Amino acid sequence: MRTTHPDSDESNGISSKRAGRAPELTQLRIRDANSGDVQQIAAIERLSFEQPWSPEAFAHELSLPFSRTIVSLRRDGTDGAIIGYLCRWLVADECHILSLAVAPPFRRAGIAEILMGEAVLEAKRKGAMIITLEVRRSNLAARNLYRKLNFAERRVRKNYYGPGEDAIIMERRLHGAA
């Protein structure tokens, strides 16, 4: 299901503020992932993480009733390639972000923020009270994005990503969930 953001154009869901920052993405489209998307999602994953998920792991996520993966695509005459994705679980009153990545040429253009915004709106609409995620301690760009989106750093998981690579557990409490 598609959602829009305040101050966005209903047809593309992109904030007019962001459209000025990244005009090449004014035709961004967000939709649910399907089995035909798995290879493109996995390719972005491989470019983004030292220990990437396999295509089979993403395919498995698509089969779980509490899991949802959304993708971002351009609708501007290009080939419609996926340029970013977000995978989340929604269990009871918690939304947990499992993976979020954007293809390297499109990073720092607001796509991750838009995908997170979609997840936050959905979590509120479905009555979640909290959104959680893990992020590498060394990933300062991601930590800054999550702080900008009102996530707070709560705990550390030592060596979560391997020896010497801790995870920071971040969370955002949702008030007035619909």
pLDDT digits (tens, 9 = 90+) for 29-52: 999 999 999 999 999 999 999 899
- Average per-residue pLDDT for the chain: 86
Q: Does residue 3 register a pLDDT over 70?
A: no
What is each CA distance from 150 to 24, 25, 88, 116, in whole angstroms?
Answer: 27, 24, 18, 11
Q: Is residue 102 part of a domain?
A: yes
The reply to whether 79 falls in a domain is yes
What number of other Cβ atoms are within 10 A of residue 138's Cβ?
12
- In the chain, the number of structural domains is 1
Q: What is the DSSP string of the chain?
A: -----TTB-TTT--BHHHHHH-GGGTTEEEEE--GGGHHHHHHHHHHH-SSPPPHHHHHHHHH-TTEEEEEEEE-SSS---EEEEEEEEEETTEEEEEEEEE-GGGTTSSHHHHHHHHHHHHHHHTT-SEEEEEEETT-HHHHHHHHHTT-EEEEEETTTTSTT--EEEEEEE-SS--
Structural domain boundaries enclosing 80? 16-134
Asked if residue 109 is part of any domain, the answer here is: yes
Residue with tokens 């009153």: 93
Q: Is residue 159 part of a domain?
A: no
Examine the pLDDT at 164 and tell me if it is beyond 70.
yes
In a domain, 51, yes or no: yes
Confidence of residue 171 (pLDDT cuts 50, 70, 90): very high
In a domain, 37, yes or no: yes
Reported pTM: 0.83
> Residue 83 sits in a domain of what CATH number?
3.40.630.30
Residue 42 domain-assigned (yes or no): yes
Is 20 among the domain residues? yes
Backbone angles phi, psi at 103, to 5 degrees: -55, 140
For the chain, percent of residues with pLDDT exceeding 70:
81
Instruction: Say what the pLDDT of residue 25 is.
Output: 54
Give residue 34's identity as a one-letter amino acid code. Answer: N
Taking only the tens place, the pLDDT of each residue in 101-133 is 999 999 999 999 999 999 999 999 999 999 999
